[in-house]
Amino acid sequence: MITLPRTLAAVRAQESTVPIRATAGDGRWFTRPAGLRSVAEVLRSAALENRCVRPRGAGTKSSWFTAPSTVDITMSTGGLDTWRYEPGATTVTVGAGVPVQVAQVRLAAMGVRLPFDPPSPGATIGGVLATNERGPLALHYGEPVDQVRGAWGVRRGGRVVALGEPDLACAPAFPDSAEHHPDPADLRWLSGGALVDVTLPVHRLPAARRWVSHDVASPLEIFDLLAALADEGVSPAAVELDLPAHSPARFGHLGRLTVLIEGSVTSATDRAGTLADAFGHTADGFSDEAPEGWGRYPWRLGDLGLRMEGGGEALASAAYAIRDAAHIPLAVRGGIGAGFCHVAVPGNLPVDTMRAVIETAGDVLMARGGHVTVLTAPAALHGPLSAYLAC
């Protein structure tokens, strides 16, 4: 008999994952509904009293959302813990409050996984889908919201919503009365409300994973490596760029481009070897372990966090241009193969320098069909940088 972990603490015991921040309410009231009906009751009552409700999972992206001063009721999703998976099935139905790490460990016991890898340790299913939080595997699978096959949720005011082809076993009382929308990825229908549970595809775990890395010191080197990668046709699962901030451990501030190749042991090893050869004699070869920091955000508490989006060459150009604008090496990391990179701007830099970094990134990316978004900023910077903050 296989014991499936039910909590993030149990997962940490198995794989030494990073702990999540403790859940805390930002509003004057706190509630923890345990299913679709109770979520609907909370949102219906809140609408009658003209109160604003803010769902909260692990809190890993709480600074990305509405200012706490506008929240009356914090609704914990911790009680939304639906789990329906039969061995051999191609989909799983999971509650919005289930941490992704918990879901992945449960599924791994069955030889499968979810098709996303969010950078936030401890992120919940609902949080990942609400923010469309992408990791390097988005190159292979696409964006998280595009994976949704069906979902149950509740709109502002308490109206139950069915998206796509939801699991009817999760809401036996609602199928006839629920508002239905055929596009499962269109979560806009839940604006001001909450996702309750979602049906997602699962994919077989690869037998082998190989990481091929190469140091980089300029945009031109990144261009050349991306071109070599395309020419070899090795079908990578992910491609990540990692440029460090000032660090004694990374002499000369060299960056690193890393390619993940997955498949059978023979296939993954052969393709990784082919790519290592194509990267030249100065390549590091390939490894069975991910490099330090793989798939995680580069910023720390108190930093300004940006997301740059665009093509590979646009992101490489912008990554080095913003370092010039800041006059220091900025930490940049993200799935350049999937069209995004994240930037950590130290929170102690002058505000004018921060503005220069944001505007430089915007100018470089806009000229190449991309854009930049401020994801998170310390509260003290919300005023000075208000023109750049996402609504």
Q: Which CATH number belongs to the domain containing residue 310 in this structure?
A: 3.30.70.600
Q: Which residues pair with 206 in a beta bridge?
A: none
Residue 382 CB partners (closer than 8 Å, separation 6+):
67, 389
Indicate if 175 and 116 belong to the same structural domain: yes
Distance of CA 134 to the CA centre of its chain: 3
- In this structure, the strands spanning 160-164 and 179-181 are parallel
Residue 280, by phi and psi: left (phi above 0), alpha (psi -120 to 50) or beta?
A: left
Provide the number of structural domains found in the chain: 3
Sort 1 into a burial class: Cβ within 10 Å, 0-12 / 13-18 / 19+: exposed
Domain that holds residue 212: 208-287
Sort 290 into a burial class: Cβ within 10 Å, 0-12 / 13-18 / 19+: middle
- In this structure, the strands spanning 304-309 and 340-345 are antiparallel
209: part of which helix (H) or strand (E)?
Answer: strand 208-216
The CB density around residue 264, as the number of other CB atoms within 10 Å, is: 11
pLDDT confidence of residue 18? 28
pLDDT confidence of residue 178? 84
Q: Read off the CATH number of the domain in which 159 is found.
A: 3.30.465.10
Indicate if 199 and 216 belong to the same structural domain: no
- Measuring CA to CA, which residue among 29, 10, 104, 127 is closest to residue 74? 29
DSSP state of 150: E
Instruction: Please provide residue 179's backbone torsions phi and psi, each rounded to the nearest 5 degrees.
Output: -75, 125
Q: Which tokens in the block code for residue 283?
A: 């390549």
Domain-embedded: residue 121: yes
Q: Read off the CATH number of the domain in which 274 is found.
A: 3.30.70.3450
Cα 207 to Cα 217: distance, rounded to the nearest angstrom? 33
Residue 334, by phi and psi: left (phi above 0), alpha (psi -120 to 50) or beta?
A: left
Domain-embedded: residue 293: no
Work out the angle at residue 254's Cα, subtended by the Cα atoms of residues 381 and 295, and round it to the nearest 5 degrees: 60
Cα 341 to Cα 335: distance, rounded to the nearest angstrom? 6
Indicate if 197 and 53 belong to the same structural domain: yes
Domain-embedded: residue 298: no
Cα 238 to Cα 222: distance, rounded to the nearest angstrom? 15
Choosing from 204, 225, 258, the residue where a domain stops is 204
Indicate if 183 and 42 belong to the same structural domain: yes
pLDDT less than 70: residues of the chain: 1-27, 62-69, 174-175, 246-253, 281-284, 390-391
Domain-embedded: residue 185: yes
Instruction: Please provide residue 177's backbone torsions phi and psi, each rounded to the nearest 5 degrees.
Output: -95, -10
Indicate if 258 and 345 belong to the same structural domain: no
SS3 content of the chain, % helix, strand, coil (to 5): 30, 25, 45
Cα 307 to Cα 376: distance, rounded to the nearest angstrom? 10
Domain-embedded: residue 387: no
E strand spans, 112-176: 112-113, 150-154, 160-164
Domain-embedded: residue 132: yes
Indicate if 176 and 262 belong to the same structural domain: no
Residue 196, by phi and psi: left (phi above 0), alpha (psi -120 to 50) or beta?
A: alpha
Indicate if 116 and 77 belong to the same structural domain: yes
Choosing from 227, 259, 287, the residue where a domain stops is 287
Q: Which tokens in the block code for residue 231?
A: 């020419």
Cα 375 to Cα 354: distance, rounded to the nearest angstrom? 14
Indicate if 21 and 113 belong to the same structural domain: yes
pLDDT confidence of residue 383? 85
> What separation in angstroms does the CA of 211 have from each of 15, 139, 288?
20, 15, 6
Q: Are 222 and 312 in contact (CB under 8 A)?
A: yes
Domain-embedded: residue 2: no
Ordered DSSP codes for 54-107: EEESS-TTGGGSS-GGG-SEEEE-TT---EE--TT-SEEEEETTSBHHHHHHHH
pLDDT confidence of residue 252? 54
- In this structure, the strands spanning 83-84 and 91-95 are antiparallel
Indicate if 175 and 248 belong to the same structural domain: no
Q: What is the pTM of this model?
A: 0.86
Choosing from 187, 204, 221, the residue where a domain stops is 204
